[in-house]
């Protein structure tokens, strides 16, 4: 044996004595499969008591090439794994699981929903009279934020050079007065009355020709209620939004023009109250937690993730009953290292619990399908620009 061989044997022994493990001593893993610790790093965020780790997504296609694992993005792999499952659906809210996608795509859907899906919102307010305590500009701002139930897909955008017509504008009027001797009244959103023939306010005419045609602020060629797309009248989604309060003798008379726009121009056009996602929680008990400790663990969790089960020998054991409810508050791993060792809190990196809260202009499921179409259009634009 040469002196260099004996040196390397000695240093290996020293390393083993110190607790280091040689790569050659790791168990064999089949080709095309990552060893468990790398699989965990690739697919889970580990939520330790102090901070989450492994939050990045490993996108480099050759990241695991030395282990014979292909990490490239493949269309067939995506279409085999991707799925959407709706877990809750009401008129205003939808929760669904989106599985098998990258966080960047989930975030793209969220941003499209917030900023790029059009709706109709009040943009121009013509105030004929306002003696309320609310100033004109605040009143106009409040009116703009009232959600309008009108399908934006039926309307055109109103550009700078366009005239307001039946295809790009919805006109409402609001005229409320509080009697001089009456009590104070609240002006609510249901006071906005739809004008299917367009504006009724006359523009001030130039000159003094009495035969000149009276002009209004819109140029409708026909009534909107004669069009099939207006079979359900555009109304405000919620009838009881307070616009202003009027004291005795006060009055508001105005006309409000709603046009099509998107949330990135102004939040009033955003079709969602909010749209958000979280990764699927995974709560793992690393050891059996029995007896009093099981009771303590159950008490620690504020959202009831853990339950107690009775074993045949009469002892009680903690089990993870509702992992999806975990909010990652980390209460269960807080009291010292021993609890941190007992419980692993994780997030599945490619499983998103997505929630859409619609403002009511369009149902949430329609909003999502429209968001998919917008993302599709964007992808097609990129492909055509590149080719």
Residues that bind ligand SF4 (CB under 6 A): 283, 300-301, 303, 305, 326-332, 345
Which residue lies nearer to ligand SF4 by CB, 170 or 283? 283
Q: Smallest distance from the beta carbon of 302 to ligand SF4, in angstroms?
A: 6
Residues 344, 54 contacting (CB under 8 angstroms): no
| Selection from 373, 371, 368 nearest residue 355 by Cα | 368
Angstrom distance (rounded) from CA 185 to CA 183: 6
Q: Cα–Cα distance between 304 and 291 in angstroms, integer? A: 18
Please report how close the Cβ of residue 320 comes to ligand SF4 at its closest, in angstroms.
8
Residue with smaller CB distance to ligand SF4, 26 or 303? 303
In the bound complex, what is the minimum distance in angstroms from residue 236's beta carbon to ligand SF4? 39
**What is the smallest separation between the CB atom of 258 and ligand SF4, expressed in angstroms?**
43
Residue in 130, 246, 254 with CA at minimum distance from that of residue 180: 246
The CB-of-279 to ligand SF4 minimum distance in angstroms stands at: 13
Q: By C-beta, is 256 or 280 nearer to ligand SF4? A: 280
Torsion of CA 219, 220, 221, 227, to 10 degrees: 160
Burial class (CB in 10 A: 0-12, 13-18, 19+), 338: exposed
Task: Pick between residue 148 and residue 305 the one whose CB is nearest to ligand SF4.
Answer: 305
Q: Which of 340, 296, 298 is nearest to 319 (CA)?
A: 298
Distance of closest approach, residue 281 Cβ to ligand SF4, in angstroms: 7
Report the distance separating Cα 332 and Cα 344, nearest Å: 10
Element (H, E) at 37: helix 36-43
Q: Compute the least distance from the CB of residue 323 to ligand SF4, in Å.
A: 8
Pair 307, 298: CB distance under 8 Å = yes
Residue the block writes with tokens 């040196």: 7
- Nearer residue to ligand SF4 within complex by CB, 279 or 305: 305
Nearer to ligand SF4, 219 or 327 (CB): 327
Secondary structure element (H or E) that encloses residue 75, with its range: helix 75-81
Rank residues 195 and 326 by Cβ distance to ligand SF4 and give the closer one: 326
Distance CA 84, CA 96 (A): 7
């Amino acid at each position: 044996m040469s002196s260099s061989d004996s040196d390397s044997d000695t240093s290996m022994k020293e390393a083993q004595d110190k607790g280091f493990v040689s790569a050659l001593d790791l168990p064999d893993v089949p080709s095309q499969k990552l060893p468990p610790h790398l699989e965990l790093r690739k697919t889970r965020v580990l939520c330790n008591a102090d901070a989450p780790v492994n939050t990045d997504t490993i996108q480099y296609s050759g990241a695991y090439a030395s282990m014979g694992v292909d990490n490239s993005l493949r269309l067939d792999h995506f279409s085999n794994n991707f799925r959407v499952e709706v877990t809750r659906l009401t008129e205003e809210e939808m929760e669904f699981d989106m599985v098998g996608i990258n966080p960047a795509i989930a975030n793209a859907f969220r941003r499209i929903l917030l900023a790029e899906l059009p709706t109709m919102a009040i943009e121009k307010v013509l105030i004929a009279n306002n003696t309320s305590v609310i100033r004109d500009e605040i009143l106009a701002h409040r009116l703009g934020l009232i959600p309008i139930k009108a399908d934006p897909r039926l309307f055109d955008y109103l550009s700078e050079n366009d005239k307001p017509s039946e295809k790009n504008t919805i006109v409402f009027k609001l005229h409320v007065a509080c009697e001089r001797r009456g009590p104070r009244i609240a002006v609510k959103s249901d006071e906005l009355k739809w004008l299917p023939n367009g504006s009724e306010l006359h523009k001030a005419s130039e000159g003094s020709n009495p035969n000149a045609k009276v002009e209004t602020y819109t140029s409708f060629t026909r009534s909107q209620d004669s069009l099939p797309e207006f079979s359900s009248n555009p109304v405000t989604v919620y009838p009881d939004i307070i616009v202003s309060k009027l004291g005795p003798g006060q009055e508001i008379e105005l006309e409000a023009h709603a046009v099509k726009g998107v949330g990135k121009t102004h939040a009033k056009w955003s079709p969602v109250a909010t749209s958000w996602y979280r990764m699927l929680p995974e709560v793992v008990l690393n050891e059996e937690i029995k007896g009093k400790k099981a009771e303590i663990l159950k008490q620690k969790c504020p959202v009831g993730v853990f339950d107690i089960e009775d074993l045949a020998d009469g002892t009680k054991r903690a089990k993870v009953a509702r992992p999806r409810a975990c909010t990652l508050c980390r209460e269960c791993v807080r009291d010292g290292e021993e609890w941190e060792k007992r419980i692993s809190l994780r997030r599945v990196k490619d499983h998103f619990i997505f929630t859409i809260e619609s403002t009511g202009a369009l149902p949430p499921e329609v909003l999502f399908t429209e968001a998919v179409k917008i993302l599709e259009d964007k992808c097609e634009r990129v492909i055509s620009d590149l080719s």
